[in-house]
Structure 1
């Protein structure tokens, strides 16, 4: 009887462990090192409702996105016809991963970037008044924050969604004076002064490639660092004798790592076959113009957002190096090539993968479930035979 109890308890324990692992898998699948957060519905700055040519209309809001570390971003919408969701994580992505390959966003992202850098809140209301005044634009008692938000969001939609304001009646509500002020700023942001800002803003942190391998007795890499912030930590999980270095084999510290730095993993010739990781943590602002896409967009589309203003935040990413005795020197997983809607992470403007295997919890969990089921079945057969 005691033996049967042990088997039953063992089967239940194994099954419970399997369930825990498989339940943990979605979190692992979602963990790719990118900045993430959720829209705080009640914390945005409201603008005025706008009317588009063709009869459609929309509300304008400068949204607040709260990141996982508590810092906040000010965001504009770049998908006016997709619903906003506050129950889904928004993940930092490069422009090439915009979720709609047919959208005007893909050819106009440089224009959108210019709007963000020259509209509100990148330029304060008084600064915008001064800019328009130099162009002999007459405002009606000055520009309000509400008008500035409205015009900037409408200008973003002009380029991201191909939407034009209805010039006869651009606002839903509001008076003629407000409509004239909004049109004045909108025309400036979408007019000939908008030459675009062609260089995509840098990610807060990107290490590429995400994985590399080589032979013992070599320096594996390079791992190229792209960042818009300051590296605050460099940690590693490497066997004794293996170290993180520069191209000359000199050990490096966090203070030595900057945007553009190339990092290597130096492996002694007598090292055993193995692997290890190193991690970087950065503190800095997410650049204006960085894109955020809903984590579950493929299943539940959520309105994509773009950074207009940010607070300081921190982001971490890590990479993996593997080596073998007599292995091929300095081979690496090349940084991903990017195409609209089809880029994968690792290198370029995408944040690096953390190196955690997203499928491993599912594999282990499935195996444990199988073992647990087999143990319970064995108990039932023994009882039947008794």
Structure 2
């Protein structure tokens, strides 16, 4: 059983994968329109506003826009409101989760007023029940009036739109004005946590380093982090302590980051000092909550349809989501130092090294030897000639002595 280690307020547990598997592809939360069963509100009439050029577009339908999470076997729905006038939502539009500051329309006021929009969403339908609406604002409002007033209040903050008091019902106007007033006074400063986010998505380092931190931010209560790590490379906490892992395979590891809901968790990749150059890919997967107030923008811009509606989540919904992160490291090899010559003087003088001669060596007598053989000593020719001379001299002296004796 994997041990649990406390990091701040988050508990980190770990379990092992039975065998390593191919990592799934990177996947954000994406949604597409699902018109079936969508709840509509009353049509509202706006006063002239800068981003609406056609007077006919001053009349706008309202609805709690229903969308379907892509690649979800449960066909889960996400309920949203519009935050971009007058762009229509097309059935072919596909939208992905984004942060408040990444609204694609540079003229939109949503990034600066997103906290006011969030307050409206958290205090109106469908984020709150109609019973809550009746208790807080009055029991005269029906669902269609509530949806119309809520959408109009959101457009007020996102697009500077205003309702025409002469062309909308008194109940819609009353609830709309109350939501605007309360939203402006109770602005929420912190945006809701993303469904699943890791920062940075990639990081480089050196062998012998603790590479990181990698920061996980999510609404999930548990995140599974799967990695194919080389032997010796570990995942650690900020203080360097390894996150306990039960290894049933030499490479594959599955880490469970527990109780991370609405928290931030960090991990590091600890690479041993002499670890060869390499890399690893982490896959994070979770079933997390798409929080109220999260922004969804167009995923892929189609040149034929360069604009798509931007939507904000009005009711929380669970979704399966995956993210990838990568880490790589290099082993730096230090150049070896040259050996220093000894400074101690030698007592024995060294003989000069023999020098090679460029002269052609004299062949051995007889001329029958191998010309390629090198002479390894002095030639024996001259000692032999000297010996013959001495022998001849001795023979000559003996002959002279005998001749004198014979004459006497």
Same fold (TM over 0.5): yes
Contact 2:237/2:268 (<8 A) preserved: yes
Counterpart in the other structure of 1:115? 120
Counterpart in the other structure of 1:188? 178
Render the CA deviation track for 1:45-71: whole Å, top value 9, x for unaligned: 111111011351100010111112232
Q: Distance in 1 between matches of 2:118 and 2:316?
A: 15
CA shift for structure 1 position 33: 3.4
Counterpart in the other structure of 2:316? 310
Which is greater in Rg?
A: 2
Alignment RMSD (CA, Å): 1.8
1:71–1:98 distance in 2 versus 1, CA, 3 Å: same
CA shift for structure 1 position 272: 1.2
Q: Distance in 2 between matches of 1:118 and 1:94?
A: 21
Matched, 1:241 2:245: no
Choose between structure 1 and 2 for higher RCO, CA contacts under 8 A separated by at least 6 residues: 1
Q: Structure 2 length as normaliser, TM-score?
A: 0.66
Give structure 1 regions of 4+ aligned residues with deviation exceeding 3 angstroms. Answer: none
1:64–1:291 distance in 2 versus 1, CA, 3 Å: same
Q: Distance in 2 between matches of 1:269 and 1:256?
A: 30
- Give runs of aligned pairs for residues 94-113 of structure 1, distance below 5 A: 94-113=99-118
Counterpart in the other structure of 2:32? 38
Contact 2:26/2:322 (<8 A) preserved: no
1:106–1:35 distance in 2 versus 1, CA, 3 Å: same
- Give runs of aligned pairs for residues 348-367 of structure 1, distance below 5 A: none
- Give runs of aligned pairs for residues 1-386 of structure 1, distance below 5 A: 33-54=27-48, 56-68=58-70, 69=72, 70-133=75-138, 142-170=140-168, 179-192=169-182, 194=184, 195-247=186-238, 248-252=240-244, 253-256=255-258, 258=260, 259-297=263-301, 299=303, 300=305, 301-326=307-332
Instruction: Flag structure 2 segments of 5+ consecutive residues without an equivalent.
Output: 1-24, 49-54, 245-254, 334-408
Counterpart in the other structure of 1:6? none
Partner SS for 1:113 = helix
Instruction: Flag structure 1 segments of 5+ consecutive residues without an equivalent.
Output: 1-30, 134-138, 171-178, 328-386
Partner SS for 2:225 = strand
CA shift for structure 1 position 107: 2.1
Partner SS for 1:43 = coil
Q: Structure 1 length as normaliser, TM-score?
A: 0.69
Contact 1:231/1:280 (<8 A) preserved: no
Query: For this pair of structures, how many residues does the alignment match?
Result: 282
1:319–1:230 distance in 2 versus 1, CA, 3 Å: same
Partner SS for 2:36 = helix
Q: Looking at secondary structure, tell me which structure has more helix per residue.
A: 1
